[in-house]
Amino acid sequence: MAGMGGQAGNLAQGGFSGAGGGGVVCAIKGDFDGDGTPDCATVSSAKQLSFYKGVGAGGYQATAIVSSLPCWGSLTLPAVADVDGDGRDDIVQTTNQSGLGYDAVLFLGQSNGTFQCPTSESSASFPRGFQPTYLSVTGDFTKDGRKDVFFVAVSGTMGSNQVQWIVFSGMTVGSNQLRMTATSVAFILGTCGAANPTSAQDLDADTNLDVVVSAQICGMGDAINTPQTINVYGNGDGTFHCGGGQTVSRPNPTQQTGMWVCQSDGTYAASN
Ligand SMILES: [Ca+2]
Ligand SMILES: [Ca+2]
Ligand SMILES: [Ca+2]
């Protein structure tokens, strides 16, 4: 570890972020080897994923176990969850490196601290023409006992930005493949709009996991309106419905004024 400089004990600092005077903060945290103690993963500029085994109390072994990641370039805001159900946390990362659209890639945590990389570039794809927004939340949205990853996807086309709720689910233990479930949402955010999930919880106590989304709708002159909270209610199979007559603002000026109003069938409809 020569050249790392200055750290004491068994706290690894190479590759960690947020060290500014208050101790180290792990960039990607999860129990990747399944021993019950949180571990840390980092990615180097050489496209190698490093695993720092957790030793408890927020510490990590200083010596990394390095995986070879021939199909990956970077990890940005990855989701961490045990999506294949083997008791070890995994990493789900979105990417557009195929050039054909946005994909999700699944890296399976292994008991020896390495990660199993997909043999093909993609584990699953977003609907063509749609791209994920920045954040994700995890939880068992399909009620099969395995955690899934929820994204908001937008079309990104000029003047519209249609919205879909996207869930990626694991297939079987040890499989790098994901199943994508999309729910089309009958409203748009406007060109400058944005939306991200902020938490997963059972909002309506029907045992199906729901999602709270924070959305910003385009206002006049492409100004961003005040963020609004959208409750996204799970159907237990990876799809979702709206509820409670909830309304979502329509962007100006392209869609005029008015709201999208949740109908009794769980879909939104425009109302002037
Ligand atoms: Ca661990
Ligand atoms: Ca796993
Ligand atoms: Ca699930």
Q: How far is the CA of 242 from the centre of ligand 2 (A)?
A: 31
List the one residue out of 77, 82, 50, 52 whose CA is nearest residue 66.
Answer: 50
Q: What is the pTM of this model?
A: 0.87
Q: Which ligand is nearest to the CA of 38?
A: 1
- Residues around ligand 3, an ion, CB closer than 5 A: 140, 142, 144, 146, 148
Beta bridge partners, 213, equal: 197, 230
Q: How far is the CA of 41 from the centre of ligand 1 (A)?
A: 11
Please calculate the CA angle 117-96-135 and round it to the nearest 5 degrees. Answer: 85
pLDDT tens sequence for the chain (272 residues): 333 333 333 444 444 443 333 345 688 999 999 999 999 998 776 677 889 999 999 899 989 998 876 555 567 788 999 999 999 999 998 888 656 789 898 999 999 999 987 777 678 999 988 999 989 999 999 999 999 999 999 987 655 788 999 999 999 999 989 999 999 998 888 877 889 999 999 999 999 999 999 998 887 665 666 789 999 999 999 999 999 889 988 887 655 567 899 999 999 998 87
Q: In degrees rounded to 5, what are phi and psi of residue 117?
A: -95, 145
